[in-house]
Structure 1
Amino acid sequence: MNPLEMSGLDLLRALVAGDLPRSAMAETVPMTFLDVDPGYVKLSARAGKQHLNPLGGVHGGFAATVLDSATGCAVHSMLEAGVGYGTIDLQVKMLRPVPIDQDLVAEARSVHISRNIATSEGALKSSDGKLLATATATCFLKRV
């Protein structure tokens, strides 16, 4: 199974099924795919003590990383084989402190896909559904 020969949706579904190894980032910031559909991803994430800032709160980069992954993968799920992408802009709004040692849920949806640019939006929520952070992303598409 060559990831470069797979559509974005097929690659993400292979990750969900465990047929492809998790990314290094998904180990650094623990994330696991829960669901993938065209233009949609849902994943779980969990902040640990390694994600704390000097004041003892979860670093804002944790939520930003989870939302960058979710919004990027929502775009990726819409791309055909051989098309890559990268984040141009990520706007994150931190709404509540991210809890430590609790399962969180991130969901993202693609908003617009054109030949060269794609946009998506996402949300990070606590296990009881409280909105912790939101994001919008713009990605460039790299077509061969």
Structure 2
Amino acid sequence: MYRRSTGRLVTVSEDLMYVKIKIPLSIKNRNFVGTIFGGSLFSATDPIYMIQLMNILGDNYVVWDKSATINFKRPAKETVFSEFIFSEEDLNLIKTEVSENGEFNLVKTPKIVDKNGTIIAELSKTIYIADKVFYKNKRKRKTNSLA
């Protein structure tokens, strides 16, 4: 499915803490005015953080994309890139918050840039992370309250 976004993985660190993608301008994503369709830019960046965290944190956590926004700064007239980075501080914060509260919303703000580093778009991604047991109980309570 990811290939349909026209995004391509360029670099993935062994520990998955760093991922770099590229989105080349092509016939598959060229819009009416000859630049990369905004939907391709958005969809190519969409799943990365969630997939990273699912793999980094493991089976005791539930991870969902909760929200995303994109602010287009200028047209993408050529191949563009985006980097997705988690630091040890990010992971410590997630684990602490989830341990104390059962769940946590992490906000990350990646950018889409051209080969010179010029910002094409800025994103804001909210990722929901929860302890698996906490999440199952929360879903059960929600389901029971609807009955």
- Fold-level similarity (TM above 0.5): yes
Q: Does 1:47 find its partner at 2:22?
A: no
Give runs of aligned pairs for residues 1-144 of structure 1, distance below 5 A.
24-36=1-13, 37=15, 39-76=17-54, 78-81=56-59, 83-100=61-78, 102=79, 104-110=80-86, 113=94, 114-115=97-98, 116=103, 117-141=105-129, 143=132
Q: Tell me, in whole angstroms, the C-alpha distance in 2 between the residues paired with 1:94 and 1:119.
A: 19
Displacement of 1:34: 0.5
Structure 1 stretches of 4+ moved >4 Å: none
Distance 1:141 1:74, change over 3 A: same
Give 1:109's aligned amino acid: I
Secondary structure, aligned partner of 2:128: strand
Q: Which structure has more helix as a fraction of its residues?
A: 2
Cα deviation digits, residues 20-40 of structure 1 (max 9, x gap): xxxx21354231140335643
Secondary structure, aligned partner of 1:50: coil
TM-score normalized with structure 2 length: 0.63
Q: Is the 8 A contact 1:72 1:87 kept in 2?
A: yes
**What is aligned with 2:143?**
none
Displacement of 1:95: 1.0
Q: Tell me, in whole angstroms, the C-alpha distance in 1 between the residues paired with 2:50 and 2:10.
A: 13
**Aligned-residue CA RMSD (Å):** 2.7
Q: Is the 8 A contact 1:87 1:137 kept in 2?
A: yes
Q: Tell me, in whole angstroms, the C-alpha distance in 2 between the residues paired with 1:34 and 1:97.
A: 24
Distance 1:51 1:87, change over 3 A: same
TM-score normalized with structure 1 length: 0.64
Secondary structure, aligned partner of 1:81: coil
- Could you tell me the percent identity over the aligned residues? 15
Q: Which has the larger radius of gyration?
A: 2
Distance 1:129 1:105, change over 3 A: same
How many residue pairs end up in the alignment? 119
Q: Which structure has more strand as a fraction of its residues?
A: 1
